[in-house]
A and B are shown apart, each in its own frame.
Chain A
Amino acid sequence: MNIINIDRIAKVYQVGSEEVHALRDVSLRIDKNEYVAIMGPSGSGKSTLMNMLGCLDTPTSGIYDFKGVSVSEMTDNELARIRNKEIGFVFQTFNLLARSDAVHNVELPLIYAGVASAERKERARQALIDVGLEDRMHHKPNELSGGQRQRVAIARALVSKPAIILADEPTGNLDSKTGEEIMALFHEIHEKGNTIILVTHEEYIAEHALRIVRLKDGLIEKDENVEKRFIPKVKASVS
């Protein structure tokens, strides 16, 4: 089933009096249960593409169909709704609410979806159990290790059962061992049927995915399946 269908999108920014062509002509198809890595050097447009995919921004031209619905001309509120229900973000810097505990962080998307308190808390707790944090539910971010924080972020991304998980350099702020644990978690999530899009500049991380899309200067240079894929040996649910 097709989730993302991008056809010839371009994004142009005005920086002062100059025009920056962040994306020139990008077309891309992503189906359900795919595991795609997007790679590229700085200035290649991969962040811009990620923002497009995540419905955080709209293209200057071109079409973006999300689950068959055109997104490119949606209003801010409509985009917000899509982000809330269909997209689970995982950031390099975790982006948790520092003064709230794990449960409250995870239930945040559900609050914006209008879910009642009791149900939200139940679903948030379950999501935390699924990522192996049942002992850390009421900890605040500063009481958690880097890996644990990222797990909370992943639980938050999963809690609204989104169509895609969008991860931007998810291991960038973690040491290699913890990074590997997180990649193992992503592997598990993918196996359960989720669709994962990973943005990274590290070759090693990209090769955990099944497909790599390489960007350069706002265009897709290569789009190929991964031959020798890394399967993490570490158990995912380790603190």
Chain B
Amino acid sequence: MSPMIFELNEGLAIAWRAIRANKIRAALTMLGIFIGITAVVLMSTAIKGIDNSFKNGISALGSDVLYVDKWSWFSNDEWWKMRNRRNIEMEDYRKFKELAKLPLAVAPVTNSRQTVKYDDKKVEGVFLTGSNADYVKTTNFTFDQGRFYSEIESNASRNVAVIGSEISAKLFPRGDALDKTIKIGGTNFKIVGVLAEQGSVVLGPFNPDNQVFIPIGTIFKNFISRHSQTVTLNVRAPNPNMVEETKAEAEGIMRKIRGLSYDQPNDFSINQQEGLQEQYDSFVGVIQIAGLFITGLSLFVGAIGIMNIMFVSVKERTKEIGLRKAIGAKRRTIMTQFLLESSVICLLGGLIGLIAALLLSLMLNQFFPTAIQYDVVIIAILISLLTGIVSGLAPAYTAAKMDPVDALRYE
């Protein structure tokens, strides 16, 4: 056995003995690291969970979809400037559809909020999306039962509806929604389709799982007047690589339809999921940094605690250190012994913290999306080890430097 491995081995044995000899002290030391690591891991699994959830939701909406709207999703322009813009009307939609060559699908969309009832159950404030048969082509929706409403049903403004998975779960707990009649805002509608869970808790009421989809003609007939609010055009690019071209074409067509001259700015906005993604990324980025900083701080405090305890431990064992040196332990040996001790304590604390964090995130998953990331696990373990080494360094050095004569005399 090479001398270094031998020393490491023996050092570990001695460190382990020392830990077992003073279990309470070791446990208290571990607590600092444990809390720090649990916090860090929990925070990152929560953030990753939200991230995943958001990305799921986004992908349900489609990364290759443009939203031509009166409003801009994010802009530096004052809101009132946009407020004064003309609404986009169904007529604009028809012209757009005729002129646009690139898009895979174009659908007009408008919204309302209504109460949806079945039997004795009801859901209030449901987000109602009115569109036509092409709408489904501008999304990545998947179906659990049935289908989207057809072109015929849409053109005839039939009272048909497609409901999201959460709505279905609330009104039809036995899962038998298809072909049933529900009341939307007092009007009867037949369910022709139920969406599968699209899975985006983060989008809240805009989550397709919480929405009901009906023909746009029907929404105008029953719930809102045709000209009271703007229609949004959902435009799907032929593929994600052609989003910019499709956007350029859409802009040109809209300007033409709206009769804008070359020196007039757009009186509409073309929104993209990408913008949402960017905003979200920077938002999450800030949260991540803040979160990591705070939890990093707690880890730091834990490390200081460990350094403190190691110093006390060294002082307490002054005579023992003197004895070991008298018997022939070199400085390096003493240093290794104490470094290993603090490292083992921290590593153990870190591992326990990791397990606790993983268990907690599994429990939290009931309320909150969490995702276990393996790189975080490895980083947590490395951080524990590093903390042990760094916080043990100064005390270990103090121990190694002790003069054996003085140490043996210590009372």
Contacts and interface: CB of A to CB of B under 8 A. Distances in A.
Interface string A65-84: 00000000000110011011
Contacts of B6: 114
B70 interface: no
Interface string B1-37: 1010010001000000110010000000000000000
Contacts of B1: 116
B408 interface: yes
Contact of B330 (A56, A77, A85): A77
B330 A80 contact: yes
Given A97-B320, A99-B17, A100-B17, A112 B405 contact: no
Contact of A112 (B320, B328, B408): B328
B367 to A, nearest CB: 47
Given A91-B408, A95-B408, A100-B17, A112 B329 contact: yes
Interface residues of B, number: 24
B325 interface: yes
B404 interface: yes
B122 interface: no
A83 B330 CA distance: 10
A80 B328 contact: yes
B327 interface: yes
A156 B326 CA distance: 12
Interface residues of A, number: 25
B3 A89 contact: no
B315 to A, nearest CB: 16
A113 interface: yes
A95 B319 contact: yes
A142 to B, nearest CB: 12
A152 to B, nearest CB: 13
Contacts of B322: 95
Nearest to B322: A95
A80 B323 contact: no
B409 to A, nearest CB: 9
Contact of B327 (A77, A108, A114, A116): A108
B326 A112 contact: no
Contacts of A97: 320, 323
Contact of B324 (A56, A85, A108, A113): A108
B9 to A, nearest CB: 9
Contacts of A108: 324, 327
A57 B21 contact: no
A12 to B, nearest CB: 15
Interface in B327-359: 327-333
B404 A56 contact: yes
Q: Name the residue among A84, A85, A116 with the largest chain B CB count within 10 angstroms.
A: A84
B326 A76 contact: no
A109 B327 contact: yes
Nearest to B401: A76
Q: Name the residue among B21, B329, B333 with the largest chain A CB count within 10 angstroms.
A: B329
A56 B326 contact: yes
A92 to B, nearest CB: 10
B327 to A, nearest CB: 5
Interface string A103-138: 000001101111010000000000000000000000
A51 interface: yes
A45 interface: no
A77 B331 contact: yes
Interface of B: 1, 3, 6, 10, 17-18, 21, 319-320, 322-333, 404-405, 408
Q: Which 7 A-B pairs have the closest CB atoms?
A: A84-B328, A99-B21, A112-B328, A95-B323, A80-B330, A83-B328, A109-B327
Interface of A: 51, 54, 56-57, 76-77, 80-81, 83-85, 89, 91, 95, 97, 99-100, 108-109, 111-114, 116, 156
23 contacts: A51-B405, A54-B326, A56-B326, A56-B404, A56-B405, A76-B330, A76-B331, A80-B325, A80-B328, A80-B331, A81-B330, A83-B326, A95-B326, A95-B408, A97-B320, A97-B323, A99-B21, A100-B17, A109-B327, A109-B328, A112-B327, A112-B333, A114-B3
Given A84-B327, A99-B21, A112-B324, 7 more contacts: A54-B326, A81-B330, A99-B18, A108-B324, A109-B327, A113-B328, A116-B1
